[in-house]
Chain A
Amino acid sequence: MAQADGLKAALCALAAHPEPVILDAAAVQRVDTAALQLLAAFVRDRRLAGRAVRWQAPSAALAGAARLLGMGPMLQLEGAGR
């Protein structure tokens, strides 16, 4: 949560990027609901705008947290390459 503001800023900067965005999440060791919520909004906004987001090897911590919160499908984490 402490870094949520930073994450938001970073995601906002990417939000309107015309190219597909690839999120490298291999190094995520801990994640909280606040962060996942931002990511979910980011992925959704991009999708609604017809722009792609792809995950690069999301870590077990991220996938696990998303699964626990039932947010896997929203984040389009399923089927993401490890």
Chain B
Amino acid sequence: MTVDLTQFHDAFFEESFEALDAMEAALLKLDVGAPEPELINTIFRVAHSIKGGGATFGFSEIASFTHSLETLLDELRGGTMPVSPEVSELLLKSVDVLRAMLRAVQASQPIDAQRVSDLQFDLEVVIARRNAPSPAAAATDTAPAADAAPDRSPRWQIRFRPYREMIARGNDPLRLFRELGELAEVRVQVDAQSLPPLKDIQPQDCHLAWTLEVAGRICEQEIRQVFDWAEGDCELVIQPIPAEPPESVPAPSAAAEPAARHDAPAPPASRPVGATPAGGATRSEPPAKSESTLTVLADTGSIRVSVEKIDELMNTVGELVITQAMLSQLGGRCEGPQAEQLRAGLAQLERNMRELQESVMRVRMLPISFVFSRFPRMVRDLAHRLGKQIELKLTGEQTELDKTVLEKIGDPLVHLVRNCIDHGIEPPEKRLAAGKSAAGTVHLDASHRGGNIAVQVSDDGGGLDRTRILAKARERSLVGPNDALSDPQIYELIFLPGFSTVEKTTDLSGRGVGMDVVRRNVKELGGKIEVASEAGRGSRFTITLPLTLAIIDGQSVTVGTETYIVPLISIVESLQLKDTQVSRLSGQGEVFSFRGDYLPIIRLHALFGVEPRTRVLHEGLVVIAEGDGRRIGLFVDDLLGQQQVVIKSLQANYGHIDGVSGATILGDGSVALILDVPGLIRIASMRAAA
């Protein structure tokens, strides 16, 4: 039987990467000297399943490397070798090498063989060193499985639902069960729910299903072998019946295992019953273990769905929203006896639409821990290399945000954390001299703020060096020699391209790339980054991001015949101005007083060159909008309604326009521009400066 295995590759890679993350996390938690057995088991399972997958798919380098790794882990697991700092370091390196190998294979590129073989050699040396003093080790190698078996006598539940045609194909469940019964103790329960009345039965069809409980020294592999022939003719779920609460460790062998069955068909009939093939005895435990975690995973009721499918769904929902808006608009104009009913139905539709939209959005949401999880390792390595002591604090890891946003926020965060460690946190002696604890703290925090998510990276280091930044800026003529800048303005300078105050560039940061890229990335996501700093106390970078990039709540406003959308989140309030509130300041254009403040007015008709209904301020309305901590008044003709709009990129379909963040299609099919409030504020301040 030949099966195209490449179809499983993606799943293998994806799951392997996930598993490596889990392995890394476990390694970082591993206490040198007194390791927790469960952590070692987790690590072992990862190595084991990657080995299995690698072998199945013919990635021999991966299989060979993980084999060495697995051997070492087995020693750790058995307690015959202590977890030393050296071993722990070696294992972390192995994670890196495995990741690199997987990436190379995934991209069909050559593996860095030298790096792999070097590390593999190191692993072998450690294993050999352990084995050398006691030649008996090899002999005892076969014993542990048998010894360990009693406390791990596995019980399995098998749900077996033959397809109708299974019997007709010559696979009699009776024969399978008989064979299983020879291997272990079996309890059978038949499910005859779908057995039709006698006269309707096609005698060749199988209408029964079974649940079997198998107890005894049998591993999943052996069970699967029994059902080997029936494979493809039935639904088969094999699950361990846990004696203890099941662990929820991702096991990456989902793709590998079914494929393995295709790959190595062992005819049950010819297999010596009750005797496992030589060599299989020692290794029979782990597969069962790794499979068990796999089924546990399946049990949590989650499925893997490709992002494209979800995006397609999003898109369709977006179109539906437009259609629904169109219908609502039509319904609002309807008259007659059924109009009320129609409107009630449309209101219902709108509610349902909103729910549907939210549900689909939630599908795309992932906790930010996916990004945060890479930091413990990074911080550990960096601190090690720089000779600093750093404590990493993570909070709000469960905060969810859109997958697209999540993917793009990783790199900026890495830059920021690196900066904190490299520039922010002082060396221990300097910290002690300043009366601080030797270990610096880097704190990553995520939280929801309205429709946004705020991610903060803060440290308790020296803070931004105001004088040095200013000196550097003057040196580069970015700032005039006599310009007086406020602190926030000075901190802004670090976001300029090519700006770096570090004299000696390290390999970590200070190459002059970084903060400007960070800001650009954040801006591309429709977010912003702010910095606060206090000399000697540390600095804090705050990234504010929209939860999603697809849909916003908007207020539609009209100017002449045009409709514009103002994001609801940036609206403070809307009001009609009185003549007395407005004044003209020289060089500042029009301003109006609002709660003791003077806010600039932007006339949208003037900005977009539209003929308005009125140019008299008190005849129209002013929408007070807020962005980047500042407020402006947008002068419009009228307010329409509030609605959710699907953002269509203007940049992708047309080009960038200042003050406009995108476009949307309204219910009547016309296009409305979505206003970019921070952009409008920039325009207002530019005008004020001019």
Contacts and interface: CB of A to CB of B under 8 A. Distances in A.
Contacts of B201: 8, 37-38, 41
A60 interface: no
Contacts, number: 78
Contacts of B190: 69-71, 74
Chain A's interface size range is 20 to 34
A80 interface: no
B199 A34 contact: no
A70 B396 CA distance: 52
A8 B210 CA distance: 22
B203 A40 contact: no
Contact of B210 (A15, A65, A70): A70
Contacts of A70: 187-190, 210
A7 B242 CA distance: 43
Interface residues of B, number: 25
A15 B198 contact: yes
Contact of A41 (B172, B173, B187, B196): B196
Interface string B166-209: 01100011100110010000011110100111110101101110
A11 interface: yes
B198 A33 contact: no
Given A34-B203, A37-B208, A74-B192, A68 B198 contact: no
A33 B197 contact: no
Contacts of B174: 31-33, 36, 65, 68-69
B216 to A, nearest CB: 16
Contacts of A40: 192, 195, 208
B192 A33 contact: no
A70 to B, nearest CB: 3
Contacts of B206: 33-34, 37
Of the listed residues A7, A11, A33, the one surrounded by the most CB atoms of chain B closer than 10 A to its CB is: A33
B199 A12 contact: yes
B574 to A, nearest CB: 71
A58 B628 CA distance: 87
Interface in A1-52: 1, 4-5, 7-8, 11-12, 15, 31-34, 36-38, 40-42, 44-45
A28 to B, nearest CB: 13
Given A33-B167, A44-B192, A38 B173 contact: no
A8 B205 CA distance: 12
A69 B203 contact: no
B197 A68 contact: no
Contacts of A4: 203-204
Contacts of A42: 198
Contacts of B208: 33, 37, 40, 69
Of the listed residues B167, B168, B198, B204, the one surrounded by the most CB atoms of chain A closer than 10 A to its CB is: B198
A50 B189 CA distance: 25
20 contacts: A1-B203, A5-B203, A32-B167, A32-B172, A32-B174, A33-B167, A33-B172, A33-B206, A34-B172, A34-B206, A38-B203, A40-B192, A41-B196, A41-B197, A42-B198, A68-B181, A69-B208, A69-B210, A71-B192, A74-B190
Interface of A: 1, 4-5, 7-8, 11-12, 15, 31-34, 36-38, 40-42, 44-45, 65, 67-71, 74
